[in-house]
Structure formats: structure tokens, C-alpha cells
Amino acid sequence: MSIVSLSTGEPTCTVEDVRAIAGANGFIIPPGGADETAFLLFANAFDATCEEVIKLPEYEDPRLKPVVVEGGARGFHQPDAKENPLNAWAHRTTLQTATAEGPLSGRTIAVKDNVSVGGLPLGLGCSPGLLKDGKHPISPIDAIVVQRLLAAGATIKGTATCENLSMFAVSYTSHSGVVHNAWLPGYATGGSSSGCGALVSIADVEELRRSGKDSRNYSLGEGVDMAVGGDQGGSIRLPAAYSGIYGLMPTHGLIPYTGIAALNPLIDHTGPMTRTVEDAALMLGVMAGYDGIDPRMTPESPMPDKVPKYLEDLQTWVAEREKMGEWTAKSAAKGLRIGILKEGFEIVGLDPAVSNVVKAAAERFRSLGAEVKEVSVSLHKHGAAIWTTAARPMMPNSISGNPPDLLSYAMPHLQPNPIGQAYYDTLVHRNPAAVNILMNAAHMQRKYGPALARKAHMHVWELRAAYDKALEEVDVLITPCNNTVGPKHPAGTAKTAENPEGFSERIMDLFEPAIGNTLNTCSFNVTGHPAMSMPVGWGKVEGSDGRLPIGMQLVGKRWDEASIFRVAKAWEVGGRWQDS
């Protein structure tokens, strides 16, 4: 068949189009000759092929059809400031199945605003002007994790504010404005799952008030028992650390990412954010397991019926120790091997007060009967550089709506506008990191070509092997999670009558509080190791007599979340973190 016969109707490409396409690829086709005529023919044939697909109706995978909920129709509203004083809610709803029976029955959940919930807007923390038609799409699907949570009896109370395009590690870049720390309004709750951190921590703040240890009475609004966060460089663990809750980034490929807006499949993770270790284990057991769609999952990923019973395992382990008389402040951690990662305490910008609190928390394991020793992984100090150069080149694809190389569900209802001046103008004084990612990717391509990213991917394997080797000697590696307590929101980020957009005039005012705060978290996104932040104490804040939580990161072997849960639970026998 000739290429001419592939084209139907009038040609849509001109010679000028062919010349522009060639120029975009950095070469020139000799004008007016046979070569140019041939490529014009090819261009029109290819365009006809494209039009054939464009005319097909969008396909909605029946596996992602929204779960039938009580009452049938799904509604939502955007809460006002009175209902949403921390600005942690993006949209409110109440979704549960008619029976609402299961392991999560009676439990309330919020999901990050990059997770598809059928019938609700998908906000991404960004201006609607960045998206097709200038509005946030109403999702026609339920993400797999949403389906599984509802099937387990959970009640979804809404979507939680996230940082602009999930591209910031503190909580003042969302289009809706700053997200306040529930422990100290005016200070960051971490990002990019910022609203999730604030909403889950509300109950702990209220508990401290009821105990009489906190007499403040500022408004908090309604919180939730649990939340679904997303993590590409620390975006579950950092807000968990800043908010005094538990935030688990599971092994890459354990929980399906299907129906969640991606940044890069290499580093995309979703996971639980909870008030207790037990709830993290419970929620993980519900969310985990192969879904047949997500290319992040591999032959190592368990089928749903083979997912470990994490909560049951933890409870059995505790019960056995209680039976042996070992569940005490002197022996609860007996037999556990704790590795204090030396390089994790040498990162740039680590507050000495944070370092001291985490070291003291790690040393507690010794008094609890564990073996505690310092472990060195020298490549850890290069982990952030490896993460950046390995992951950065593909991020513009996600920003522009291009699908990844491997087959996945690409959410066709979510269509960003083309990258251009409007993108820059919208974000440069709201979230300059999103602009910087484009600049970084272009810089890499222009100066180094693809060779640098290829080299970085090889070093990912080296880094994974280095952590694997260290974890042969210990059950978990310990590092600080947040390098400082939650910073104060920069001037200009709060929306006011004088500054209704909440734009900061100086880009560096936005960047400075975030510098270095992913240095201990992002490397595990590329190596795929599970890591959890757990609260272990308090730190003083600048500009206030208040205090904010400090998180300790526990890193485990790939597919060994059970050890992380055991280590965290044993630590608690030595006393509650709030009382430290």
C-alpha cells in the first residue's frame, strides 16, 4: 500500500509545516526538492492517522468506574474560611458504600488533591488557567486506591489541599493559598501533601487541648482519621514530620498509582498518613496489591490476595512479646537491629536541635533492648543529586500531559495547556520550583544531552545496592526526616485584600525555606525502599514561643514494611512522643 492511500480528504500540512517540524529537530531539508516533497507526503499521511484517533470517543476503563456510594449521586462543595480555617480542604464531600462494612468501617479519610475521586474536581493545587478550558476537570473515575478504601468501609470526606502541581516541599504554593500547621498556624505543614498532614494532625492537637496541656483555642475545623498522600521526593514523609503524624512511602510498586496525577513513574508513590502505627499498617493492607494497570508494579508486587496482613502481623508480634514478658520499657525492642545512618546526620542545613532530638530518639532503642549501631552509606550524600538528574528530564512530560513510555492509564480528562509564557507568569511568584523544573530539564538536554540521565539511572542501581547492603546488617536505617521544624510562611504568601493572589515578590523568599529539606528523603524514591516518618519530639520555632514536631525517618528493606511497623511500635513503649 502506498503512503498516499493512507491519507483521506484534503491535505492538512503545508511545506511551511514540514520546514518548521524539521527545524524543531535541528535540521533542514533541502527546500523545493524531491526530499521535501516526500516528507510533505509523509506528514499528511501521519496527520490523517492522528485524526483517525482524535475522532474516536474517549475510552473509560470499566475497571476505574466510580464505586456506587450511598445515595447514588456524588456531590461536593468548596468550604469557606470558617469551615476550613487551616485551608487544608480542597473540596468536601461524604462518600461511603451502602453497607460501609469492612476493616475501615467508621473511619474518615481525605485524599490528596491529585487523586481521582469520581464526581469531584481534580485540582492539583494549581490555577485552573493552567488546564484545558480554564477549569479543573471533574473526574469520571475513581483511582484504584479510592475504590479499595471505599470497599473496605471507609468514608471519604473530601480532597485535601496539595502544593502547586505537587512540586514543593512546604505549604504555601497552592493556588488556594497557604496551608497552616495545626500545631501552630502561620507555619508550614510540609508538602506537597500539605492538607493531608494538617487534617490528620487536628485530632492530636484537640487531644492535647482536652488534656489541659494546650490552652490555645484557635479554630481548627474538621479533621480526618487518615489520609492518602503522594510522594515523589518526600511529599508524604515531610508533611507527616512537620505535622507530628505517621507518613509511609511504601516500596515502589506496592500500591497502585492508577488514577493519580503523576510526576515521573520512576519516583511516583502513594501511601497512608495516619495518627498511629496501627492505622498505617491497616491502611497499607487495604491499599496494596497488583491492579493489572499500573506499569510501576512488577512481578515482585503481590496480588491483592497475597498482600501481607500488616496490622495482624504487628499485633501478633506484640502479643508474642507480651506473652514472653518482653513488652516492657527495657526489652520491647529486643532482637531488633537499628542502624543510625551516619551521612543522614551530615546533610546541609540540618538544624542541630533536630539532629539531637532524632539521635536521642534513636538511642532510646538501646534502652529498649535493641542492637544500635552507626552505619555508613557514603553514596547517600550524593543521593539527592542522583535523584534530581535521574528524574528531572521526564518531569516536563507530565507537566505537559504527555504519557510515560510504558502503557498506563493516562487520565485523558486531565489536559494541561501547552507550556508557554502563561505558565511562567502564573507560577513564577507562586511556585517557582515548577518553572525551575522545566529550566533544569532543558539545561540538562542542552548541555549534556541524554548521557547524564542515563548515567544517573546507572547510579540509581548503585545507590539501591548500597542501601541493600547496609540493610543486610540492620532491620532499619534511621535519619532525620525534616531538617528543620516547619518554617514560617514567607511574607506575601498569605492572600490579603492588598495581595489577593498571594504572590511573593522575591522568588528566593519562596525557595529559601525549602532548601535542603528533601536531602534525606528523595534518594529512597528512586531506589524504591519503603520509608516512614514518625514523630519523636518537639523543636522550637523562630519568631514564636511555640513549638513544632520533629520526625524520624525509618527506612526498611524493599517489601519489608512489617519491620518498619515493628520498630516504630517498639519505640513507643518508651513513651509518647508528645510528652518528650
Taking the C-alpha atoms of residue 313 and residue 311, their distance in angstroms, rounded to an integer, is 5
User: What pLDDT sits at residue 319?
Assistant: 98
Cα–Cα distance, 137 to 123 (Å, whole number): 8
Indicate whether 219 and 298 sit together in one domain: yes
pLDDT of the residue at 9: 59
**Statement to judge: residues 138 and 287 lie in one domain:** yes
The residues of the chain scoring below 50 in pLDDT are: 1-7
What pLDDT shows up at residue 492?
A: 87
Cα(102)–Cα(453) distance, integer angstroms? 45
SS3 content of the chain, % helix, strand, coil (to 5): 40, 15, 45
Whole-model pTM over 0.85: yes
Query: What is the number of structural domains in the chain?
Result: 2
Domain assignment of residue 456, yes or no: yes
- 65 located within any domain: no
Question: CB within 8 A of 516, min separation 6: which ones?
Answer: 347, 348, 349, 350, 483
Q: Let me know whether 48 and 193 are in one domain.
A: no
Q: What is the pLDDT of residue 291?
A: 98
Residue 498's pLDDT is: 82
3 state SS of 7:
coil
Contact 287, 234 (CB under 8 A): no
Same domain, 34 and 101: no
The total of other beta-carbon atoms located within 10 Å of residue 384's CB is: 20
What is d(CA 551, CA 484) in angstroms, rounded to the nearest whole number? 10
Grid coordinates 469492612 are at which residue? 102
82 in any annotated domain: no
Structural domain of 575 = 89-579
574 with 433, same domain: the answer is yes
Count Cα neighbours of 108 within 13 Å in the Cβ-side half-sphere.
Answer: 16
User: Rounded CA gap, 158 and 95, in Å?
Assistant: 8
Q: Is 59 part of any domain?
A: no
- Cβ burial of 364 (10 Å; 0-12, 13-18, 19+) is buried
Give the pLDDT confidence of 109-155 residue by residue, as tens digits: 999 999 999 999 999 999 999 999 999 999 999 999 999 999 999 99
- Asked if residue 347 and residue 219 are part of one domain, the reply reads yes
The verdict on residue 462 lying in a domain is: yes
> Which residues are catalytically annotated?
112, 192, 235
Q: Are residues 500 and 452 in the same domain?
A: yes
95 and 43 within one domain:
no
Does residue 490 belong to any structural domain of this protein? yes
Q: Name which of 188, 247, 234 is nearest 384 in CA terms.
A: 234
pLDDT tens column, 272-294: 999 999 999 999 999 999 999 99
If asked whether residues 33 and 171 sit together in one domain, one would say no
Distance CA 539, CA 561 (A): 28
Work out the mean pLDDT of the chain and round it to a whole number: 95
CATH number at residue 123: 3.90.1300.10
Domain assignment present for residue 73? The answer is no
Question: Does residue 24 sit in the same domain as residue 109?
Answer: no
In a shared domain, residues 49 and 182? no
C-beta of residue 569 within 8 angstroms of C-beta of residue 277:
yes
Looking at the structure, do residues 304 and 439 belong to the same domain, yes or no?
yes
Classify residue 289: in a domain, yes or no: yes
